[in-house]
Structure 1
Amino acid sequence: YDLRLEMDGVLKSWAVTRGPSLVPGEKRLAVHVEDHPLDYRNFEGVIPEGQYGAGEVIVWDKGVWIPEGDPHKGYAKGHLDFELRGEKLGGRWHLVRMARKPREKHDNWLLIKSEDDFARAPEDEDILEEMPRSVDTGRTIGDVAENKPARRSKKAAAPKQAAAPRSIRTSTVAPTQAPAADIDPSRLKGAKKAPLPNFVAPMQASSGAAPSSKEWIHEIKFDGYRVQARIEAGRVRLLSRSGLDWTKKFGDEVASALRALPLGAAIIDGEIVVETSSGASDFSGLQADLSAGRTDRFVYWVFDLLCLDGYDLRGATLLERKGLLEALLGAENGDRVRLS
């Protein structure tokens, strides 16, 4: 494995032979190697023998890194603290340079995971074994060696979730607003009375042949952040796909629109995006707004209603859940919260 972090227009690179570990405090040797051009960040294929990194290459993970403090000072000092927001890796990490020994040609660093909600226990499954495929093409190293084509869905390798939430709580809060007559979750076949769970691990895309029958519906692929809205007694929490509370990151505009919905308790699944003038989602714009603390452009595209006012709806059909979600949004469907 190679860890590559963009800095000053190049990819600072470390060879992590055993790959990253999500076990807090577990040290993985990271040998500092030459900088790579930014074009390398999307390369998949075979590097010829005799060149650095010879062999098969896939994009195992990608995303953004957020340094704590001045990254240039940390890099020069030999101690980088940072957060990763990737499709597989997340949370806080450390890169620590060790003293160079005689005759060593490269600086040896240690890659170490911090204790947080993305961490795993030593007995948990290794993320390298759990998620071996490319996040870009869905291929494995073996597929590249055999020159197999990319899978049809670029999200084939999307993870189930970077880490399980540390605690799951339930509550039984009654609705505080009177729902409209056509918003009755008890009428949905498959709906079951149940307390509101604190978090539901979101479903992720998996690879397969494109369906052609009428039993399938299709979703737009947004370039944003998957967000689960948990609404309870007028309080809104916006949770990342791993269960982290990102409500403050996204400001009050989306949360206010959700608070206005005629319900007491619900869990809604969707994605927060920033849109271009043409209406396309813009991930780089979303990242820039989050970094700048700007929240006025965020739009929450919602595509599923998992729970509503004392009922777990996951046993109902997706079309029925979407119909109930559309009725629930009513006049709120359009500005900050939109039905996908």
Structure 2
Amino acid sequence: MSRTQRVTVEGRTLTLSNLDKVLYPATATTKGEVLHYLASVAPALLAHASHRPATRKRWPDGVESTPFFQKNLDASTPAWVPRRTIRHTSSSNDYVLVDDLATLTWLGQTATLEIHVPQWRFGRTGTPLPPDRLVLDLDPGPGVGLPECAEVARHARDILVGMDLEPVPVTSGSKGIHLYAALTGQHGELTSDAVSAVAKELARHLAAEHPDTVVFEMKRALREGKVFVDWSQNNESKTTIAPYSPRGRERPTVAAPRTWDELDDPDLRHLELDEVVERFERDGDLLAPLLAGHLDRLEPTPQRLATFTRLGTYRAKRDPGRTPEPFGPDEAGSDARTAPGADAAADAGTDSTEETPGAPSFVIQEHHARRLHWDFRLEHEGVLVSWALPKGEPTDPGRNHLAVQTEDHPLEYGTFEGSIPAGEYGAGEVTIWDAGTYELEKWREDAEVIVTLHSERRGPRRLALIRTGGRDGQDANSWLIHRTKAQPDDAGTPAPPEAAAPPTSPGRAPRPMLATTASTGELDRLDPERWAFEVKWDGFRAVVTVSAGPDGDPQVRLTSRSGQDLTPTFPELAALGEMVRPADLPLVLDGEIVALDGQGRPSFRRLQQRANLAKPRDVERARRRVTVDLVLFDVLEVAGSPVADRPWTARRATLEGVVSPRPPVHVPAPLEGTLAEALAESRRLGLEGVVAKRRDAGYRPGRRSHDWFKVKHARTQEVVVVGWRPLHAGAPGEDVRTAGSLLLAVPDGGTWRYVGKVGTGFRDRDRRDVVAALQEVPSAPLEGVPAVEARHARWATPERVAEVGFAGWTSVGADGAEARLRHAVWRGWRPDKAPADVVVEPESGAARNS
């Protein structure tokens, strides 16, 4: 494979090299995989790191080599990398600003694994602003770990909440936990010195209240068995690892935002790259509330000042502390909150939603509230004027639909997708059904609106809104929405009323639908009569568009989940064009690009050798080493007509009818039988797992849905339970009989070998029942339990056998530490087994590839 490649990121040209170089030998994680991670979490990482002077920690030869810190930009830095100068007493340093994906990619190319930033940002003119967040670094001393840090974090949270600060936890990816709190309102004018003084007093108070577990002095000799609350990182000259930054540890851990519920898990651990990507795709940015700090400092613009008065009703119905919805500008013109997923990394003083020249926007959001409805919003006079459509947008000119006008929404709401919590106004799931721009034909205030919508997703159409209710009374907000007989053509030109609507152009490829990780309870409900089971492929997801070219020949375009054009990278997949009929074009399909190993199994590591290549010479050289295949499993559009709303069974039949596959294109049949049988077949074939799809469900582009579940193979191991740790410490004298985790062992030559603990997979009732099933003894029945895990443990007679699922075994440590179970999940007791029957199960082929 070429060791040097040129790629374009956000219009910037970068040279990437040695993408297959291993940076983390313990996990064989390559530079290419690190770059993939950075691109996947960029929206969140940039939001929290942008406009802050970044100190970089680089490992050019991998984490087993000696790293070096770098503050100053050197001669090799591209001219387009944003930067600011800080003048110190005797010198000046030019710092990089991690403001965009191109810069983040460049940092990854230079093997910058850790990005450290202060708690303040530069303003628009380069002037340092007051700190916008407070941070406490909870650093465990010898003999303590994350559980003890979590306990101290809860103590600190109680104090911070009393100060009107709401902290958000981040497991640092190194040893401890960071607590962040946004500085807004009365706290927003504090200097770095003042914030540092407040943090120091808070740490001093924690140490006084909990002298056995907390220390706030800097002396390392005092930290044995305690958690050091480091308050000093609020100093103007100090930095902290940026949220979402990787760490240069043995394994590719990350400074990862967490929920407070997670901190209650006694088996809390640091997360790694792939886990953080999956969580971010599923849950969004858990640290989004922290952005309120720097948004509080945005300088007002005339457009913002003109709109805040129209949002009074909207804000009166919502509490910014309870809902993730955006809140738009306040009286000072500052952003109160930016929607999750919006560009929250805008420059201080730069309004990320300020109106720009051009057509105004529209959005239609599907809202699963108490009753399913669709919210239709038009950008007008600085806000989104909004109507609720109980039956959605009309498609038949002969049938009007009801439209109920609601309060104006902030412009930021046009990008909002997420869950509004139960008990809040409009509680339920919100997703974007369609969005684009519109041409205004008529706007008679409170009477009539006529617009032509332009959407790449659903095509152009002309709609009219007519008010039917009076200005007072119960029906004051009642309107009708009407699809006019005269409709635009693809170019937006109105067509005669009798003209048939032409098929829509494929335009920009839609985002693929995503699967949700299934819980044990959900797996139990996957009846094969209602669910189909397909192979889970380990490759690059791609939306495939086949359209007729200028000469009539089919043209194939491959688009990644992130919108990247993969077509030049995998030119051999253009063969798909010969396997479809011209009458079915344009055609939009969903599939996976895979590279097979010598046993015919997908190998993601092998596929990496084909990634990020664009030059024909580089691509051809890589093709000679690694061939790829295209696996198709869904269809979204046929002959320009959408089929995504049809059930899976109908789409599957359509897919098999429109593609006549032959290598390198495949349309594999679903796996037969029950989920257990499908998993068994997948495991026998050495595949990653299974995706379960509800047979009667439609395809929801860009959504992670419970209509699709992914089920990865988990290895299982029989174990003997030798003790348990309480879920919480309890009050003095209280006998807590609820297990937080069970301590596990296997027979080893007439004695017991400790193999770790399991704390997940339990229901609440299970945590009590497992304790009741154990015979407690006064001391440990084995040796070798780490002190941190033995702390607070209750011991049991080693007579009960259980089964756990797990991801694999840890390596034997250099200090002689025995291998432990990784990511164990409780499956249940094995009453048919005796302790002497337990053996360490050999690793299966499926487990190696799960």
Provide TM-score, normalisation by structure 2: 0.25
Deviations 1:201-223 (A, max 9, x none): 21122244243222122333322
Counterparts of 1:119-268 in structure 2, within 5 Å, are: 141-142=258-259, 144-147=262-265, 156-157=278-279, 159=281, 169=456, 195-198=504-507, 199-209=509-519, 210-211=522-523, 212-214=526-528, 215-233=530-548, 234-251=554-571, 253-262=572-581, 263-268=584-589
The CA distance in 2 between the partners of 1:94 and 1:220, in whole Å, is 43
| Code of the aligned partner of 1:283 | F
User: Which residue matches 1:307?
Assistant: 637
| Code of the aligned partner of 1:213 | D
User: Which residue matches 1:32?
Assistant: 56
| Code of the aligned partner of 2:538 | D
The CA distance in 2 between the partners of 1:270 and 1:288, in whole Å, is 20
In structure 2, list runs of 5 or more residues that go unmatched.
Answer: 1-17, 25-30, 35-42, 65-71, 106-169, 171-243, 247-251, 285-340, 343-414, 416-434, 438-454, 460-501, 549-553, 669-850
In structure 1, list runs of 5 or more residues that go unmatched.
Answer: 41-73, 82-92, 119-127, 173-192
User: Given the superposition, is the C-alpha separation of residues 315 and 9 from structure 1 closer, same or farther in structure 2, using an over 3 Å criterion?
Assistant: closer
How far residue 322 of structure 1 moved from its aligned partner, in angstroms, is 1.5
Contact 2:85 2:94 in 1 (8 A): yes
The CA distance in 1 between the partners of 2:503 and 2:98, in whole Å, is 43
The CA distance in 1 between the partners of 2:632 and 2:97, in whole Å, is 41
- Bigger relative contact order, structure 1 or 2, given CA contacts below 8 A and separation 6+? 1
How far residue 20 of structure 1 moved from its aligned partner, in angstroms, is 2.5
Contact 1:196 1:310 in 2 (8 A): yes
User: Given the superposition, is the C-alpha separation of residues 231 and 157 from structure 1 closer, same or farther in structure 2, using an over 3 Å criterion?
Assistant: same
1:336 counterpart = 2:664: yes
The CA distance in 1 between the partners of 2:535 and 2:664, in whole Å, is 17
The CA distance in 2 between the partners of 1:259 and 1:271, in whole Å, is 19
The CA distance in 1 between the partners of 2:541 and 2:570, in whole Å, is 12
Deviates more, 1:209-218 or 1:28-37: 28-37
How far residue 254 of structure 1 moved from its aligned partner, in angstroms, is 0.8
1:202 partner SS: coil
1:256 partner SS: helix
User: Given the superposition, is the C-alpha separation of residues 301 and 202 from structure 1 closer, same or farther in structure 2, using an over 3 Å criterion?
Assistant: same
User: Given the superposition, is the C-alpha separation of residues 166 and 101 from structure 1 closer, same or farther in structure 2, using an over 3 Å criterion?
Assistant: farther
User: Given the superposition, is the C-alpha separation of residues 94 and 320 from structure 1 closer, same or farther in structure 2, using an over 3 Å criterion?
Assistant: farther
1:219 partner SS: strand
How far residue 140 of structure 1 moved from its aligned partner, in angstroms, is 5.3
Deviations 1:119-178 (A, max 9, x none): xxxxxxxxx9xxx9x9999x9523553236799x96853627999999953799xxxxxx
1:286 partner SS: helix
**Correspondent of 2:88 among 78, 81, 101:** 101
Contact 2:556 2:576 in 1 (8 A): no
User: Which residue matches 1:298?
Assistant: 628
User: Which residue matches 1:269?
Assistant: 590
- RMSD of aligned Cα (Å): 5.1
2:45 partner SS: coil
How far residue 110 of structure 1 moved from its aligned partner, in angstroms, is 2.1
The CA distance in 1 between the partners of 2:585 and 2:44, in whole Å, is 45
How far residue 282 of structure 1 moved from its aligned partner, in angstroms, is 1.6
Counterparts of 1:77-116 in structure 2, within 5 Å, are: 77=75, 79=77, 94=81, 101-102=88-89, 108-113=95-100
Contact 2:544 2:559 in 1 (8 A): yes
How far residue 326 of structure 1 moved from its aligned partner, in angstroms, is 1.8
The CA distance in 2 between the partners of 1:34 and 1:27, in whole Å, is 20
User: Which residue matches 2:46?
Assistant: 21
The CA distance in 2 between the partners of 1:195 and 1:221, in whole Å, is 31
User: Given the superposition, is the C-alpha separation of residues 100 and 248 from structure 1 closer, same or farther in structure 2, using an over 3 Å criterion?
Assistant: farther
The CA distance in 1 between the partners of 2:640 and 2:257, in whole Å, is 43
Greater radius of gyration (CA): 2
The CA distance in 2 between the partners of 1:249 and 1:216, in whole Å, is 35
User: Given the superposition, is the C-alpha separation of residues 35 and 115 from structure 1 closer, same or farther in structure 2, using an over 3 Å criterion?
Assistant: closer
Contact 2:539 2:604 in 1 (8 A): yes
User: Given the superposition, is the C-alpha separation of residues 107 and 305 from structure 1 closer, same or farther in structure 2, using an over 3 Å criterion?
Assistant: same
The CA distance in 2 between the partners of 1:307 and 1:204, in whole Å, is 18
**Percent identity between the aligned chains?**
20
